[in-house]
Each structure stands twice: as C-alpha cells, then as structure tokens.
Amino acid sequence: MSDRKHISNEVLILCGGKGTRLRSVVSDRPKPMAFVNNKPFIEILISFLNQQGFKKFILAAGYKGKIIKEYFTRKNFDSNIKVIIEKKPLGTGGAVRFAIPSIKNRNFICINGDTFIPLNYRHLLRFHIKNNSIATIVVSDKGKQKETGNIIAAPNGRIISFAEKTKIKNSYQNAGVYVFNKKIFKFIPSNKFISLEKDIFPSLIGKNFRIFKTKKPFLDIGTPNSYKNAEKILKILMADKK
C-alpha cells in the first residue's frame, strides 16, 4: 500500500448511453446531464468523489457527447476533467476499452453516469488493491427487485456466476460501480460494441473477480419516475453518506 503507483486518483465515468427510457422527460441532452438540484447529475457525482480526494475524471461520452464536452470546457472545476467522445456506439465494455489512452494508474474507479451511491470510494479502492483483484463490483442485496443484475459469489467474495436481469434467488444486485485493474483491457476487444455486464464480466469468472458488499441504497435516474423523485432521494442518500 505504500507504493503510490498503486493508489489511483482516476475515475472513469460511463456516459455514452442514449437514455431512451428517459427521453420523454429529458430529450435535449444526454442522460448524465439531466438536471437535479439545478446541476447536471454528472456534476453531482464528480463533486462527491472530488470531496474524497479523486482529482482526475475521464468522461466517456457518446450520444450528444458535445454537450458534455462544452459544459465541462466552459466551467472551472477543482479537478482534471477530460471528455472523450466515441465516434460510434461502443457499449459499456467498448467505452472502457476506448479510455485506454487516458488511464494512467494501475487501478481505477469506473462508475455509470446515471447512478449515485454514497460509498467511501477510497475504502472500496483499498479493498480492491488489497485483494489484488482484476475487477471488483459493488453489490447490494436484491431485496424485492427481481429484474436487476444477478451476481452469485463464493463465501470468500469471488464471483462464480453473473447473469444480467434474470430471476435468481439468493443473489446480489449490481450497483453499477466498479474498480478495475488495467489487466481488464486484455479481455475487451478494441473498436467493438460490447457490454461489460453481458460479455466481459462472464469471461472473468474463475479469475480474481470479487464483490464489494454494501447495504446503502442507490439512485438511478434512468426512468421518468426515478428522475422525478431524484432530488428527494438524493437528499436522503447524501444525508446517509457517512
């Protein structure tokens, strides 16, 4: 842990999706730029992580990516923010691969630009490094949610099964927050549309691929209903961030 090359200040934020489910209420901008508390949602994510000491953010944009680039070019932030825009849709996996030239540290945080969970991200990063994992997924108990990502893990935390949006009992829910070692790039083909959840994660089974459990709820602004309640939910989550 004393080797600073292992300690990362980098966060990759995936914000290239088209946000089709949200289009009825947010149609003029990409989903992560939807306003919550008078700020783009992605700015709230960056501010939260910045407060924990993360200073470099790579925003992997696609659909209406110029809006994201123009916004973060105009404003001054206490962070190094770089927007990269894919020329064609690459999916979540392809977006991670596309970010290779911008990732400098051995390990880095990766989050979805339309979800928020009030974690201690430094603690998450230390957990990942301590276990020398190729990938770590933040998970929560599924509760009554039946149609979300299903992850089965061994008692030691190693993932033994991954299936997106199927009905499996006694499984965990993917919270959309990851830590990756740069070795992950070897499993992702370049310049190809590919999904982390459907294509890449299943290929990591049997590797040092682990879960990080949390009981904290999270906000996903991906639907009109969740977006409508985002301000209220965010206040609750921010109050619970400690």
pLDDT tens, position by position, 115-173: 999 999 999 999 999 999 999 999 987 554 444 557 888 888 999 887 655 555 557 88
User: For 15-66, how does the pLDDT look when each residue is reduced to its tens digit (9 = 90+)?
Assistant: 988 767 777 777 888 889 989 988 999 999 999 999 999 999 999 999 999 9
Q: Which residue has the tokens 């509760």?
A: 143
CATH number at residue 77: 3.90.550.10
Residue 156 in any domain: the answer is no
CA 73 – CA 81 distance, rounded (Å): 9
Residue 155 in any domain: the answer is no
Which has the minimum average pLDDT: 83-87, 109-113, 230-234?
Answer: 230-234
Residue 189 in any domain: the answer is yes
For residue 126, the enclosing domain spans 7-137+176-194+219-239
- What's the longest Cα–Cα distance across the chain? 50
Residue 212 in any domain: the answer is no
CA 218 – CA 143 distance, rounded (Å): 13
The helix (run of H) or strand (run of E) holding residue 137 is: strand 135-141
Task: Characterize 210-224 residue by residue with b for buried, 16 or more Cβ atoms within 10 angstroms of its Cβ, and e for exposed.
Answer: bbbebeeebbbbbee
Residue 144 in any domain: the answer is no
Residue 145 in any domain: the answer is no
Average pLDDT rounded to a whole number, residues 192-208: 93
Burial of 149 (0-12, 13-18, 19+ CB in 10 A): buried
- Say how many domains are in the chain: 1
* Whether the predicted model's global pTM rises above the 0.85 cut: yes
Q: Is 235 helix (H, G, I), strand (E, B) or coil?
A: helix
Question: Over 70: is that where the pLDDT of 2 sits?
Answer: no
Q: Which residue has the tokens 């309640």?
A: 229
Higher per-residue pLDDT: 238 or 203: 203
Measure CA 228 to chain center.
21
β-pairing verdict for 135-141 and 159-163: unpaired
Residue 73 in any domain: the answer is yes
Residue 161 in any domain: the answer is no
Q: What average pLDDT is seen over the chain?
A: 86
Burial of 174 (0-12, 13-18, 19+ CB in 10 A): buried
CA 46 – CA 10 distance, rounded (Å): 11
pLDDT, residue 3, reads 40
